[in-house]
């Protein structure tokens, strides 16, 4: 189940709000400029499907976002708990960073936790299968795939070179809850 917890940046132990309803999550995130949607496949996606098959299953929504936001590149990332570099990859994404373009992820399978640092608030978003999150460029955030990652996600980029992070050097991500799947 998707979840949003909102914290004061100075109190990581006590959320000021928790939402489990998708519409409430989308509304709350929308108020701070973050896109949150539910997508359904146009055709079935089998476990282990190729990148082309996954992209084809969500073609209409992908094309809608490309036209609306000017995204030029699309790919699929898949990570499982038996990946030999899972710990290093998890650690890399756990540090607060920004991007010079939107970070857009659609979860075809599995889950991941995006944590956004916007103003004085921390927005901890557990994304699951069917969720799309669009983090605007320049937004401070971090991502946790958990100690035993399992996800397949479609990524959309305006920069054809893909994911480029600008790390803030702040340690705020260390103080907030992690994804323990």
160: closest CA among 79, 93, 75? 75
User: What does DSSP say about strands 73-79 and 131-135: parallel, antiparallel, or unpaired?
Assistant: unpaired
Distance in angstroms between the alpha carbons of the first and the last residue of the chain: 13
Span 85-93, average pLDDT: 92
Going from the N-terminus, what domains does the chain have, and what CATH number goes with each?
Answer: 35-111+128-170 (2.60.120.10)
pLDDT of residue 162: 62
Span 60-74, average pLDDT: 94
pLDDT of residue 16: 98
Query: Are 42 and 26 a contacting pair, CB within 8 Å?
Result: no
Give how far the C-alpha of residue 24 lies from the chain's centroid of Cα atoms, to the nearest Å: 17
Query: Are 87 and 155 a contacting pair, CB within 8 Å?
Result: no
DSSP symbols for 48-67: T--HHHHHHHTHHHHHHHHH
Q: Which of 25-34, 42-51, 68-77, 94-103 has the lowest mean pLDDT?
A: 42-51
pTM of the model: 0.94
Residue with tokens 């006590």: 14
Does 31 have pLDDT greater than 70? yes
């Amino acid at each position: 189940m998707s979840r949003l917890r909102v914290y004061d940046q100075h109190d990581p132990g006590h959320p000021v709000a928790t939402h489990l309803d998708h519409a409430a999550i989308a509304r709350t995130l929308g108020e701070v400029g973050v896109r949150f949607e539910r997508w359904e496949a146009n055709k079935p996606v089998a476990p282990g499907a190729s990148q082309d098959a996954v992209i084809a299953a969500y073609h209409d929504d992908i094309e809608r976002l490309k036209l609306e936001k000017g995204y030029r590149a699309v790919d699929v990332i898949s990570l499982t708990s038996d990946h030999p570099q899972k710990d290093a990859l998890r650690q890399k994404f756990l540090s607060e960073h920004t991007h010079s373009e939107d970070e857009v992820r659609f979860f075809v399978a599995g889950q991941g936790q995006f944590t956004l640092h916007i103003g004085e608030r921390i927005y901890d978003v557990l994304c699951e299968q069917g969720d799309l999150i669009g983090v605007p460029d320049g937004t401070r955030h971090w991502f946790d795939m958990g100690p035993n990652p399992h996800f397949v996600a479609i990524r959309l980029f305006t920069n054809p070179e893909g994911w480029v992070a600008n790390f803030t050097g702040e340690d705020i991500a260390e103080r907030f809850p992690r994804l323990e799947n």
